[in-house]
Amino acid sequence: MAAVAAPPAPVPPVAPPAPVSAAAVASSVQPAAAQPAATPSALWLIGSRLREYAASTFEQRKPWGEVLERTSFSKPSSLQEAAGRLRKNAGYFKINYLIIILLTVAVTLLTHPSSLVVLGSLAASWVYVFAIRQGPLVISGKELRWESIMKHMRVRADSISISSQQQQQD
């Protein structure tokens, strides 16, 4: 089962920039506080690129009949052969496995909506700490080092995960 890589997409030629008048440049210069952080066109561009990437990734999946073909299953003769088959299989069917994992996560989150809220709050804290926050993180007047921040975020993620698992079992 050798996977054949698709040829890379051709790169479109780059057009030279259009001439700009001095008046247009002067009118477009604004203080940094007045400029929006992300324009709708930038968000639309990011969204369209994500859709294109998802579509191209989805096209790389193998036929489901090939994934579930019963004649392909046989008992390996050794542990090394089993490990080799596993690596080869994971590489060949990685998109199919990714689809299965994403569907499982989606079903789990839909059947346990509280998990979605917990996951959202956890994601929001990670985004704040690592993407939004400007400058050092200060808690109780003490500036935290990078290692300390990572340790605290890991402990927070683990404690939220454990508490949400306990709530689902009750």
Q: What is the pLDDT along the chain (170 residues), one digit of tens a residue?
A: 555 555 555 555 544 445 555 454 444 444 444 555 556 687 888 888 888 888 888 888 888 888 888 887 888 899 999 999 889 988 888 989 999 998 998 898 888 887 788 888 888 888 888 778 778 888 888 888 888 888 888 888 888 778 766 666 66
pTM: 0.47
CA distances from 87 to 73, 80, 93, 149 (A): 15, 11, 10, 35
Residue for token pair 């698709």: 6
Q: What is the rounded distance in angstroms from the CA atom of residue 63 to the CA atom of residue 93?
A: 9
